Structure 1
Amino acid sequence: MLAKLWYDGWQDAHAAILPAELARARTRESFAERMTGALADVRVIGPRGAPSGFAMLKGDELYQFYVASEARGAGIAATLMADAEAQLSERGVGTAWLACAIGNVRAARFYEKCGWYLARTMVNRLDTVDGPFDLEIWRYEKRLAHR
């Protein structure tokens, strides 16, 4: 269910604004494989079997953040973001970062509303079934309070 939520969310937010070769590499199977490998760093919100959203951490990065389209506008994203930030802080992260696809204005507005700021654009190396893929992204950062 999580991989489906991730795949559907990626299609909704990214398929139209990212290079076609990356979209071809982002198959349903690739999302399932990546999710299986990262489950220890994933927090889910919503009922078992019908997740409303998830956040995946990777080091000092909020690596993935998705909310199901039918759950948007209900405060779930803000709750999930607060939890992700708390987890990063508990890990001792002083400044967290996340990658936002250039052109994903809806996500960028949400991150800014949560106190994240656009630090710069950068090239992010993505792993795909076809090998590494370099993608220019917006890098958002947020200074976290220590717990």
Structure 2
Amino acid sequence: MTAPVEAFRHLDPAPMRPLAPADIPSLARLWHQGWCDGHLASASEGLVRARRLESFVARLEAAPAGEVQVTGPDGAPAGFFWLKGACLDQFYVDPALRGHGLAMPLMLAAEAQLAASGVDIAWLSCVVGNDRAARFYEKAGWHRAATTPMQLQTADGPFDIVVWRYEKRLLP
């Protein structure tokens, strides 16, 4: 049984900063490894080929200013989140740091930024089968609202996947 989200309210949000060019190589490796950990079991061969390390570098290089927030030293980020409107589009922690208490403060920082921008109900997608991530989202107070198809756009073309949509009310 997981602890209720109230048990984590004492945590301070992780110190965040905007993505810097020096972060991109190591952040792309962190993201690629995290993606592989959570998606390889359910991804098609074509999607795995499309999600090579270079694709993560390109996505980070093209990120609009301010959407990607990073925690950790310049050039050696420990985790990040990427917000797009009311969506927590990406959320990753360095695999070497999992279990060290970084994920929950990072989530609190993402939620605080969403709430500060006026988002009432935030949402995120978690690929069906990524049970480790799903457990974390539920521990953080997110609830599974739906299972739905989704089309990913990649440089190699679109790919159809099925995701769990999680939601969380941020404003009273």
TM-score of the pair, normalised by structure 1 = 0.94
Partner residue in 2 for 1:138: 164
Unaligned runs of 5+ in 1: none
Q: Quick one: which amino acid aligns to residue 74 of structure 2?
A: R
Higher relative contact order, structure no. (Cα contacts within 8 Å, ≥ 6 residues apart): 2
Partner residue in 1 for 2:39: 14
Q: Quick one: which amino acid aligns to residue 63 of structure 2?
A: A
Partner residue in 1 for 2:22: none
Matching of residues 1-147 of structure 1 within 5 Å: 1-38=26-63, 40=65, 41-145=67-171
Q: Quick one: which amino acid aligns to residue 93 of structure 1?
A: V
Q: Quick one: which amino acid aligns to residue 105 of structure 1?
A: D
- Find the residue that maps to 1:10 and give its secondary structure: helix
Unaligned runs of 5+ in 2: 1-25
User: Which of 12-21 and 57-66 deviates more?
Assistant: 12-21
CA distance in structure 2 between the aligned counterparts of 1:62 and 1:30, rounded to whole angstroms: 20
CA contact under 8 A between 1:45 and 1:76: conserved in structure 2? Answer: no
Distance 1:3 1:72, change over 3 A: same
CA contact under 8 A between 2:121 and 2:171: conserved in structure 1? Answer: no
Q: CA deviation at 1:71?
A: 0.7
User: Which of 75-84 and 120-129 deviates more?
Assistant: 120-129
Q: CA deviation at 1:36?
A: 1.3
Post-superposition CA distance 1:30-77 (Å, at most 9, x none): 111111112521111112222111101111100000111111111110
User: Which of 13-22 and 115-124 deviates more?
Assistant: 13-22
Moved over 6 A (4+): none
Q: CA deviation at 1:100?
A: 0.3
CA distance in structure 2 between the aligned counterparts of 1:134 and 1:63, rounded to whole angstroms: 17
CA distance in structure 2 between the aligned counterparts of 1:56 and 1:121, rounded to whole angstroms: 22
Q: CA deviation at 1:17?
A: 2.2
Q: CA deviation at 1:134?
A: 2.0
CA contact under 8 A between 1:54 and 1:67: conserved in structure 2? Answer: yes
- Counting matched residue pairs gives 146
CA contact under 8 A between 1:42 and 1:57: conserved in structure 2? Answer: yes
